[in-house]
Structure 1
Amino acid sequence: MKRQIAGMLVCFYLVSGCGAETQPAAQKAVKSEKSQAAETKQPPQQAAAPVKTEVGSKATQTPTTAAPAQQQVDVDQAAQKKAEELFLQARALIKQGKLSDATQVLSSAITLNPRESKYFFHRGSAWADLKQDANAIVDLTKAVDMDPKVAQYYYTRALFFMTRGGGQLALNDFTKAIELKPDSHNAYNNRGLLYATSGKLKEARADFEQVLKIKPDSLDAMNNLGFTLMNLGETDQAIQILDKVLKENPKYLNAYDNRGLAWTKQKKFDKAIADFSKAIELSPQNLKFYRQRMRAYETSGDKTKAEADKKKLIWLQQLAAINDRLVKDPENTDLILERAQFYLASDERESAMKDYAKLVELTPETGRGYLIRGALYLEENKLDRCIQECSRSIKIQPNPEAYSVRGDAFMQRGDIEHALRDFERARRIDEVVAKAYLMRSESYKKQGKHKLAAEDFERAVAIDPALGPGKLDKEKTAAKPVIRPIN
């Protein structure tokens, strides 16, 4: 889930089993008291100093030497007031997800008042979410340099480094944030995660334990501590802590994963498999959980179930490949159809129907989405729904395929007359059409309409000779119209 760094950065990488997949509170930045003050404080009142401007910006008019000192004060205050108004406007744009617009507004605020660190801080945060990393680090560092006593500036820059693989730089900034704000449990937790990923398990343990001194009910810290203790070989204590996490929150995904790993270390494979299975239930497309359960099955000697998980892993990898292509081209209807059919082949009907609905949304001018969904309903023998969807497609843009699919639905419903009309519109000739002509021929015969019955019989046999006498004069019947004209 994407979170804006302006609302504070999250989404940093986690070591397998560590952290919380559902974006835990420990990964959410909590503003320090100094940071909150920085966002709301009034611009400094420096009457004697003119407002500086950035290169390329419109310069602020400087009063003449004859102007009274009060005129300089008024100019500065007006600029500062306008800058603060722009800052509030930028914050609103950030909340709306309009990051590019926010950076422009913040740039205008900085032009008016380049002495406010919070303007650089929020612009840097927006740059980070826009993946403009060079601009982001310049602005975030500028904020830190201008106001080195604000813990939140270091904390946010640490998260930025963390997401970009700058582990040591992130560690340094988290440590500085902790020095400035010793009760920052988020900084301790995230620094602990960095220690854990780099193999410094004793340091990670100390940080997670410190979080629990500050915030004893932090399930994220408990989960992370359980993971760390497991890797330190203290599996009994790890399991006790993870039991507590899951008692408090039975849907805490990574706690099941971590406890499953702990059970595996203790060779209690049945319990490990149960925990990995619960993790899969909560996150059914996560390859990691299938992989770990597969290994548990293999180690316990259950080759059949291990093979089933292996096949599922292959399926998930194939799905991931389709999804990767869709990320690059999210409105590619061929790819959406490919994924829908992929889901259907694995009985993932609900997911398939979401993709079919997306196709309908993306093809309003052609009706292709309705046609494809109609074909799906035909396969499921939902004939009325099939006819409805195909009719929608035909209304938008008549096409032979929609008539053909709708004809099959009419045929299966026993509505031969409508089926044949659709087959004729589709210019379709095959054994199904032959059977339809034969069935209508028999119906005409029962009604005493022998001439019509004979014509339909000839059409049926011309299409499929197996339906009639072997000595039928093919040249004669071929001369007769197989497709009736439509009035």
Structure 2
Amino acid sequence: MDPCRRTGLSGVLCSFSLLCVLLDIQLDGVLGATHVEIEHHLEMGRKLLAAGQLAEALSHYHSAVEGDSKNYLTYYKRAAVFLAMGKSKSALPDLTRAIQLKPDFMAARLQRGNILLKQGNIPEAREDFEAVLQRSPEDAEAKEQQMRSYELEDLQEEARAAYHQGDYSTTISVLERVIEISPWDPESRELRAESYIRMGDPQKAIQDLTPTTRLRNDNRAAFLKLSMLHYSLGEHHDSLNHVRECLKLDQDDKGCFSHYKQVKKLSKQLDSAEELIHMERYEDAIDKYESVMRTEPNVLYYTNLAKERICFSYVKLKFAEEAIDVCSEAHQRDPRNTNILRDRAEAYILNQDYEKAVEDYQEAREFNGDSQDIKEGLERAQKMLKISRKRDYYKILGVSRSANKQEVIKAYRKLAQQWHPDNFQSETEKKEAEKKFIDIAQAKEVLTDPELRQKFDAGEDPLDPENNQGGGGSQGWAHHFDPFQSGGSFHFKFQHN
């Protein structure tokens, strides 16, 4: 019969006693197994740490701490792994716990003091160094770190005083040493970033502010400032990324949300404008860049960029006069921008002003002598200038470089009627008319032949004997084309091309 099959209080007590016995047996088994497992985890952690396999070592130390939360050494060893991984903030609680469990554990105190000093927490760091020195007055590391804590305190006061006096150069100089002693102190980096901003060096400010987003648990202010700095430099994608990090911490942050809307709108417009250029929809791209200037009229970078890209788009559209006007304005805003100089040179070429085109390409080469694009453009502009001083087929017909075939033929017919030799009486006039008529006919031949026109636009005269030695085909025929070479009376007939 079951000894606990009784009624009343005695039955309950019997059941409770039996349960306790069973729990004791199970607990003894668990504790015994856990002890073995803890030793295994500690040993594996030690080996993996020595081998540099930090993540694996950390996993074993986690298990050791969970298995025995009263062992100060497991906390200390896990802190060592965190430090090896560069995670000082995670190491600090473990060192504190190890000291709580063993207040005379001086190695942990010294390690914690070092971390606190690097974080710029002078009072607490000094407490740890003093505790070590009370127990071991000759400890060299504790003495040195204590002296550094006093030096750091003096330097921080000096830096703050210089900043309040507006002496930002001195502030930066002093903070160099401050950050050398306490590289994990966000306040020192933030103060130096502000000094760089006041001195007009946003790039260095960004370098100082970026690590502070990790040194503080919730550093929305740094994310917002980083976003604004990148925005001011024209780095709108980086700006958007940082302000989004701010909103991840608090989606209702008014400052970040307001800036986010502005950056997102502008970034979308800029990306869209570049996509339109990629699609060769240049008129739409011009409209979009004009919207960019309306969205952000106060940051010069975006206005300058918009002017530069509108200049480029007008050149692609072959609107010479509009391109020259916008490119010239863009050049005044950004005189060393080689893209603007290149594009204005192309606009001058469209306008048949080759001397100015050469000048712009030469200036662009001074700023960027390694650019193959600029080198080739200069050579082409120089060829065109040389040809224009001999004969320019566009000028002969009085058409623009963007004229289509129908416009070329229309101009040709008008001039051919005007300069037909039959319209003149004297031999001198007839000879002059013949010369002009041949030029007009040759100009029409070149500008209505896509291959010949392409060569001429590239700075080569396809009808120049120097370029056609031994040449045949349409080039050879065009070069020797002379409607009067038979010596007889030439009867002019218009071709309906």
TM-score (norm 1): 0.33
Structure (1/2) with the larger helix percentage: 2
Which is bigger in relative contact order (C-alpha 8 A, separation at least 6)? 1
